[in-house]
Amino acid sequence: MRSFERQLSANSAELERQKREITEGSTGWESPSNIAIVKYWGKYPDQIPANASLSLTLTEACTRTVIKFRWNEKIDGPVITFRFDGEERKDFADRIGRYFSLLTTFMPWIRNAEFNIESLNTFPHSSGIASSASSMSALALGLCDIENKMYGKDPGENFYRKASFLSRLGSGSASRSVIPEMAIWGITASCKESSDEFAIPAPAIHEQFKGLNDSILIIESEQKKISSSFGHDLMKTNPYAKLRFEAAEENMQLLCKVMNTGDLGTFIDIMENEALSLHAMMMTSKPGYLLVKPNTIDAIQRIRDYRSNTGLAVGFTLDAGANVHVIYPSDQSEPIGNFIDSELKPLCEGGTIIHDRMGGGPIRLK
C-alpha cells in the first residue's frame, strides 16, 4: 500500500470508533476544470499515472455541487439522488454510487449516508469540454467537508491532499483540479514532493506564467465518442508507449526549469509537442483513432503562422478531442484576442469560443 493511502486507511479505522457530532447537514463546492500542459496518458491499476503531468487550473469552466447528507444507521448504502441542471438523473446517480462505494475504504461513514446532490456546470453542456475533472473534484471536496463537519474535525493541512487523492480515484485528471494555478500529479524527478497519489502545487511559477489565458475554440461541440479510459487502456499495447512515458518525463523536467526562469517560448514548444504527442498516441494505438478535425489542424497552422509573423507568445494545446486551447499571457490579450476573433472564430462551431484563464482553485459555496 502506498504511504498516503496507508495514512488514510489508518484514519478511517480511527473514525469508525469516533462519535459523530452532527448527523445531517449540507456543503457546496465550485471546482474548476484544468487543462494539461504535460499530458497524462496511460495508467496502472488504482489510477496510478504512467507519467507525471502538469496542468493549468481554469477559472470559468467549473462544476458547482451542493450535497445534502443524512446519517442513517439502518441503511447499507450509500443512497444517492442526483439532479443535474435541476433534472433528476438516475444514470449519474448510479455512477456516483459506484464511485462513493469505492471510497468507503477511506470514508467508512459513506455506507450509512443518504446524499441528495444538486450539480451544474458553468460551461455549456454542448461545448465538448470534459466535465469529469471539475465534477469529480467538486464531489470529493464535498465529501471531505462533510466528514469534517460530521466528526467535528478542523480541515487541517491535509484537506486538499485528501480531496485530490479521492478525486484521482474518480478521474485521474480531477486530482489536479483542487490545486490553484498550476498542479503537478505523478512522480517526477523535477519535483521531489511529487506523488502518484495526489497532486501538489507546481513549485515555482514565474511572473510570466501568472494568469495565463486559455481561449477554448469549440471546433466540435459533441461529447467525445471514445472515452479516456479506453484511450488509457490502449497505451498498454501501444508500441511507442515506453518512449512516450520517457519523453513526458523529459518534458516535465524541462518545463519545471523554464517555469522558474520565465522562458515562455520554450514553454510553448513543450506544450505543443505534448498536445501533438497525445494525439500521435491515439493514432498509433491498436485500433488507432483520430479525434482532430480539419478545422483543428487549420487553427493550429494559423496560430503557428501568427506566432512566426508577429513574434508574440501564443501557442496551442489539445485535450482528448477536436477543440483547441489557445494559451497566451494576459498582457497580450488585446492583439491576440483580435487575432482569435478574426482568424480563429470562423473555424469554430457556431463561432463559439470560451475565454478562460488560470484560476485560484476551488471555492466553498456560501
**According to the binding rule CB under 6 A, does residue 129 interact with ligand PMV?**
no
Rounded Cα gap, residues 133 and 137, in angstroms: 6
Q: Quote the DSSP letter at residue 75.
A: -
- Number of Cβ within 10 Å of residue 225's Cβ equals 9
The span of 33-41, 146-154, 202-210, 217-225 binding ligand PMV (CB under 6 A) equals: 33-41
Rounded Cα gap, residues 353 and 343, in angstroms: 12
**According to the binding rule CB under 6 A, does residue 194 interact with ligand PMV?**
no
Q: How far is the CB of 95 from ligand PMV (least distance, A)?
A: 14
Selection from 286, 173, 186, 171 nearest residue 233 by Cα: 286
**Strands 24-38 and 363-364, bridge-based pairing:** antiparallel
The span of 34-42, 202-210, 263-271, 291-299 binding ligand PMV (CB under 6 A) equals: 34-42
Q: How far is the CB of 209 from ligand PMV (least distance, A)?
A: 18
From 57, 112, 132, 190, residue interacting with ligand PMV (rule: CB under 6 A): 132
- 17: its cell numbers: 470508533
- 176: its cell numbers: 489536479
**According to the binding rule CB under 6 A, does residue 188 interact with ligand PMV?**
no
**According to the binding rule CB under 6 A, does residue 279 interact with ligand PMV?**
no
Q: Which of positions 214-243 make contact with ligand PMV (CB under 6 A)?
A: 228
From 28, 31, 33, 36, residue interacting with ligand PMV (rule: CB under 6 A): 36
Beta bridge partners of 113: 71
Q: How far is the CB of 79 from ligand PMV (least distance, A)?
A: 27
**According to the binding rule CB under 6 A, does residue 57 interact with ligand PMV?**
no
In the bound state with ligand PMV, the residue whose beta carbon lies nearer, of 318 and 340, is 318
In the bound state with ligand PMV, the residue whose beta carbon lies nearer, of 27 and 135, is 135
Q: Sign of dihedral through CA atoms 125, 127, 132, 138?
A: negative
Q: How far is the CB of 156 from ligand PMV (least distance, A)?
A: 26
Residue found by looking up cell 444517492 in the block: 80
The span of 37-45, 190-198, 199-207, 253-261 binding ligand PMV (CB under 6 A) equals: 37-45
Q: Please give the single-letter amino acid code of residue 82.
A: F
Q: Quote the DSSP letter at residue 295.
A: H
From 173, 251, 277, 285, residue interacting with ligand PMV (rule: CB under 6 A): 173
**According to the binding rule CB under 6 A, does residue 39 interact with ligand PMV?**
yes
**According to the binding rule CB under 6 A, does residue 168 interact with ligand PMV?**
no
> Where are the extended beta strands (E) located within the chain?
24-38, 43-44, 48-49, 53-71, 79-84, 87-88, 113-121, 182-185, 199-201, 213-217, 315-318, 324-328, 353-357, 363-364
From 32, 78, 142, 172, residue interacting with ligand PMV (rule: CB under 6 A): 172
In the bound state with ligand PMV, the residue whose beta carbon lies nearer, of 228 and 295, is 228
Q: Do residues 137 and 183 make contact, with C-beta atoms less than 8 angstroms apart?
A: no
Cα torsion for 263, 42, 84, 32, to the nearest 10°?
-20
In the bound state with ligand PMV, the residue whose beta carbon lies nearer, of 292 and 336, is 292
Q: Which residues bind ligand PMV (CB under 6 A)?
A: 36, 39-41, 53, 132, 171-173, 228, 278, 319-320
